[in-house]
Amino acid sequence: MKPASPPVGCRIAVHALLESPLSELDSLRNRAAPPGGPPLPPRFLRHADEQTVVGMHAVLAALAHHPQPTFVAGHAVVAAPCQSGRLAAARTLAGLPAGGAATVSPHIVPQCSLHSVAGAVSVALGMHGPHIGVGGGPDALAEGLLAAATLVTAGSDPNCTAAWVVATEWAEEPALDATGDALGDPVCRALAILLEPAAAAPDGGEHALSLMLAVRVPTPTASRPRLHQTEGDLVAFARALAMCAEGGALATWTVTCPWGGEIRITGQPRPATGHVQEAA
């Protein structure tokens, strides 16, 4: 292995984990932003994919507990959904044989593609940093963190002040009936974290949670990497963040990547408490 690249230092300013069963998503879709953060434009989420709805409200929940007013216009967004748009795709395809082209919603591409979660957060909150969707499959969380580390590493721009990572998924991938409706009441969840450059941490900041992202890439070996190794566990990641923030302990969370390397996150808390928002 070649010499390891230095870890990327940043801090988690705020984070929030949010879960919602499908039966409550319409309510969440129409819910106003919580007090203390920026407002959500009226009816903004009416055409949005389920993962966008949950991801957006995770960001809003996190922002509502930001210790200081934050200049969101300078933020970037890296969204890492897992199989977003599947329900809309199934409904569209189920309707094709009978209805043809006229039944295809014009919203499906802008609202249900890989970029859509990031686009919605960027548009709703007026963010002018770059926004990208990353992953899209079982490895989305790892790929999202890798992309965020890329942005943070490159972050020499003083006007691009922070980057959101918004990871979304169904807790269990829902089975769908022949019309594209979900069977049962699957739970959709999102973790939103706001990464700021390490230098941006205010001295004695109440919520500061320092974090080091290390990306380790092995040199090529005779063995091929496994096609798919592990699903980065979004809930376990949130738990590690909470433990680090609330327990005052050093926490390490590692995801082993399909390409044989790893992304290791080591959190070193400051004395005070962070916040995890959980909302049903």
Partner 1 sequence: MSGCVAHRRREREPVVITGTAAVSPLGCDPDGILDRLFAGVSGVRQVDVDKRVQTPAPFAAPVTVIAAPTGVAAGEFAALDRLEQMCLTPLVGALADSGIDQSVGGPRIGLVLGLGAEQLKAWELDFLAGGRTVFEARRTPTLVHRLAARAGITGPALTVAAACASSGYALALARSWIDSGWVDVCVAGGCDVLSPTSIAAFYNLRALSRRADDPAKASRPFDRARDGFVMGEGGGFFVLERRTEAAARGARLRGELAGVGMSSDGVHMVTPSSDPTQAARAITAALADAGVSPAEVDYFNAHAAGTPVGDVAEAAAIRLACGVATDNIPVSSTKSMTGHLVSGAAAFEALACLGAIERQAVPPTVNLDEPDPDCPLLHVPHVARPHPVAVAASNSFGFGGSNLCLVFRRAA
Residues numbered 207-236 forming contacts with partner 1, rule: CB under 8 A: 215, 217-222, 224-225, 227-228, 231
* Closer residue to partner 1 in complex, CB, 64/104: 104
* Closer residue to partner 1 in complex, CB, 97/204: 97
Task: Please state the closest distance from residue 182 (CB atom) to partner 1, in A.
Answer: 9
Binding mask 174-213 vs partner 1 (x if CB under 8 A, - otherwise)?
xxxxx-x---------------------------------
Tokens coding 77? 């967004």
Task: Please state the closest distance from residue 77 (CB atom) to partner 1, in A.
Answer: 8
Q: Report CA 125 to chain centroid distance, whole Å.
A: 15
**What 3-state DSSP class applies to 87?**
helix
Q: Which of residues 257-276 bind partner 1 (CB under 8 A)?
A: 257-261
Check binding of 39 to partner 1 (CB under 8 A): no
Check binding of 83 to partner 1 (CB under 8 A): yes
Q: Choose which of 27, 32, 35, 172 interacts with partner 1 (CB under 8 A).
A: 172
Q: Which of residues 99-158 bind partner 1 (CB under 8 A)?
A: 100-102, 104-106, 108-116, 118-120, 122-123, 125-139, 143, 146-147, 150-151, 153-158
CA angle at 47 for the pair 141 and 60, rounded to the nearest 5°: 50
Contact between 108 and 55 (Cβ < 8 Å): no
Residue 6 gets which letter from DSSP?
A: P
Q: Which residue, 121, 258, 106, 101, is CA-closest to 194?
A: 121
Task: Please state the closest distance from residue 196 (CB atom) to partner 1, in A.
Answer: 14
Give every CB contact of residue 89 below 8 A, 6+ residues apart in sequence. Answer: 108, 112, 180
Task: Please state the closest distance from residue 98 (CB atom) to partner 1, in A.
Answer: 9
Q: Choose which of 89, 198, 243, 279 interacts with partner 1 (CB under 8 A).
A: 89
Answer positive or negative: Cα dihedral of 125, 81, 62, 155. negative
Beta strands 209-216 and 187-197 are unpaired
What values do phi and psi take at 201, rounded to 5?
-65, 120
Residue 74 gets which letter from DSSP?
A: G
Task: Please state the closest distance from residue 259 (CB atom) to partner 1, in A.
Answer: 5
Whose structure tokens read 């409200």?
Answer: 57
Task: Please state the closest distance from residue 120 (CB atom) to partner 1, in A.
Answer: 7
Q: Which of residues 5-24 bind partner 1 (CB under 8 A)?
A: 5
